[in-house]
């Protein structure tokens, strides 16, 4: 193919439709409209109407009339005639060479259009990500940073660093953030659809962040990366704290007079102020019951407030769980016997120690065992089991009780949430117990999960990191089951 023909293909006969039109009109110097031409060269009439214009402009084809009425015939200008004829001749002799060239041009054009589209999409995505208030990070399945927006860098104090293409672990080295990095790295290798994590940073300034970490999947389900969205919830948490401080103050103030009322009641009932008649004892017993109820609510509120204020997990020490569980189960033996509930403890003799606040840990299992007995009908069974997984200790409290409906499970750890069940209308409770339990477990870097079937029973499982024999830092907890993740 000589240069002139090459030039003619690049600038005039640059598509299959134009090539067909030129060859057909050259061979058939008659007059036809687009519809007629469409039938002759077996192409779409609309496409012919749009492409034939450039042949008119190049002076190869003449046009008579306008719009749908327009007709066309072969009438090249004297300058064009020779090259058109050479082109047609060349095409007759080497049709494959011309068609290969046209095909190459078509592919190249599609590639350019695709690249322009990708560029446009990239600009659009960048504009959206930059204008978002949330921090966004995308990493690939190897943990390398593919994309992040300025708010993300700002929240984590990474401004001025170029993290693109680097391993997230090499960019984020500050202690409190390593847990986040670990969560992001673990996600592609886990079956979870989303992990929610809250973290508080003090450097460069205090900020509380909620991280939602989810996998990016291809159409076939393969995980190709991870998206992390960070939301600044400092203000929300500060307001929560103010509210908790208020609850703490109020419940503290309420407890003293109530304790005094209870003290006098007990003295009254014991006859310290003189013998009471049966008629007098009865209403006083009701007052005692009700003040016990009030005191239990106030104590729960105080516990919850204390936890939020961060006053609870102070006394970290080595705790032998089997002893703690044994003591706690003992506490409930009488209560279980009263309801004819069999209370079992299944704990191996050598259970590794954990590092924990013993009072808090006791609170966790007191609450779970007390609930198991409360929500199990007479003649049922409650079993406390413990085992070591190597890195963690897992304790489960199972019952054969009334169970928790599936729709209530996601809310079971919310403050003040109680399942509405006519069978438990008389069971005393505030709906705060499990919220406190969850706070304590998470403050110990643990995870609490629940499985339940209505009418069959419930199992709460607490997983806590084992104490490292080297005395090193606690390992992070395993990822929670998907149901346990706040989506």
Instruction: List residues near ligand ADP by CB under 6 A.
Output: 367, 371-372, 375, 399, 401-404, 412, 417-419, 429-434, 458
Which of 273, 416 has the CB closer to ligand ADP?
A: 416
To the nearest whole angstrom, how small is the minimum distance from the Cβ of residue 477 to ligand ADP?
A: 21
Quote the least distance from Cβ 470 to ligand ADP, whole Å.
37
Which residues does residue 192 pair with via DSSP β-bridges, in sequence order?
Answer: none
Q: Using alpha carbons only, give the angle 97, 103, 107 rounded to the nearest 5 degrees.
A: 145
DSSP string, 276-298: --HHHHHHHHHHHHHHHHHHHHH
Pick 22 or 301: Cβ nearer ligand ADP: 301
* Least spacing, CB of residue 431 vs ligand ADP, in Å: 4
CB of residue 367 to ligand ADP, shortest distance in Å: 6
Q: Which is nearer to ligand ADP, 313 or 419 (CB)?
A: 419
Q: How far is the CB of 280 from ligand ADP (least distance, A)?
A: 32
Report yes or no: 319 and 464 within 8 Å, Cβ to Cβ: no
Q: Taking the CB of residue 253, how many other CB atoms lie within 10 A of it?
A: 11
Burial class (CB in 10 A: 0-12, 13-18, 19+), 434: buried
What residues pair up with 356 in beta bridges, in sequence order?
A: 317
Q: How far apart are CA 50 and CA 37, in angstroms?
A: 13
**Residue of 456, 482, 476, 356 lying closest to 401 (CA atoms):** 456
C-beta of 40 vs 374, nearer to ligand ADP = 374
Please give the order of strands across the beta sheet that includes 71-74: 32-33, 71-74, 61-64
- Smallest distance from ligand ADP to CB 375, Å: 3
- With respect to ligand ADP, which residue has the nearer C-beta, 303 or 355? 303
Q: Which is nearer to ligand ADP, 201 or 298 (CB)?
A: 298
Complex with ligand ADP: residue 126 or 411, whichever CB lies closer: 411
User: In whole angstroms, how close is the CB of 371 to ligand ADP at the nearest point?
Assistant: 4
Measured CA to CA, the distance from residue 317 to residue 124 in angstroms comes to 54
Two structure tokens written together for 171: 């960019």
């Amino acid at each position: 193919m000589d240069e002139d023909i090459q030039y003619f293909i690049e600038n005039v006969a640059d598509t299959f439709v134009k090539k067909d039109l030129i060859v057909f009109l050259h061979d058939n110097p008659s007059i036809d409209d687009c519809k007629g031409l469409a039938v002759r060269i077996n192409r779409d009439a609309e496409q012919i109407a749009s492409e034939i214009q450039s042949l008119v402009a190049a002076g190869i084809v003449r046009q008579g009339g306008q719009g749908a009425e327009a007709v066309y015939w072969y009438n090249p200008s004297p300058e064009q005639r020779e090259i058109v004829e050479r082109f047609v001749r060349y095409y007759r002799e080497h049709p494959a060479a011309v068609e290969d060239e046209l095909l190459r041009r078509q592919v190249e054009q599609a590639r350019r259009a695709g690249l322009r589209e990708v560029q446009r999409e990239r600009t659009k995505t960048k504009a959206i990500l930059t204008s978002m208030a949330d921090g966004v990070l995308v990493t690939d399945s190897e943990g390398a940073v593919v994309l992040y927006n300025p708010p993300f860098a700002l929240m984590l104090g990474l401004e001025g660093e170029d993290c693109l293409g680097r391993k997230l672990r090499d960019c984020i080295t500050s202690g409190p953030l390593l847990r986040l990095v670990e969560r992001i790295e673990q996600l592609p290798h886990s079956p979870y659809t989303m992990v929610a994590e809250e973290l508080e940073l003090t450097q460069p300034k205090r900020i509380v962040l909620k991280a939602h970490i989810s996998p990016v999947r291809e159409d076939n389900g393969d995980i190709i990366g991870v998206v992390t969205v960070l939301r600044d919830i400092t203000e929300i948490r500060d307001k929560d704290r103010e509210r908790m401080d208020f609850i703490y103050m109020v419940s503290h103030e309420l407890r003293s007079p109530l304790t005094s009322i209870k003290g006098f009641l007990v003295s009254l009932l014991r006859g310290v102020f003189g013998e009471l008649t049966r008629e007098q004892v009865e209403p006083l017993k009701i007052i005692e019951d009700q003040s016990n109820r009030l005191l239990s609510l106030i104590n729960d509120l105080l516990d919850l407030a204390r936890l939020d204020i961060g006053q609870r997990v102070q006394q970290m020490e080595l705790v032998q769980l089997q002893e703690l569980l044994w003591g706690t189960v003992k506490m409930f033996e009488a209560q279980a016997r009263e309801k004819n509930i069999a209370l079992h403890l299944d704990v191996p003799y050598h259970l590794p120690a954990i590092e924990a606040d013993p009072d808090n840990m006791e609170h966790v299992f007191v609450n779970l065992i007390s609930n198991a007995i409360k929500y199990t009908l007479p003649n049922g069974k409650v079993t406390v089991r413990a085992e070591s997984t190597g890195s963690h200790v897992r304790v489960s409290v199972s019952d054969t009780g009334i169970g928790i409906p599936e729709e209530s499970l996601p809310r079971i750890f919310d403050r003040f949430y109680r399942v509405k069940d006519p069978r438990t209308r008389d069971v005393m409770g505030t709906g705060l117990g499990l919220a406190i339990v969850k706070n304590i477990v998470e403050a110990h870097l643990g995870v609490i999960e629940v499985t339940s079937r209505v009418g069959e029973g419930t199992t709460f499982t607490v997983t806590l990191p084992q104490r490292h024999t080297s005395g090193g830092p606690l390992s992070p907890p395993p990822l929670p089951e998907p149901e346990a993740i706040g989506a």
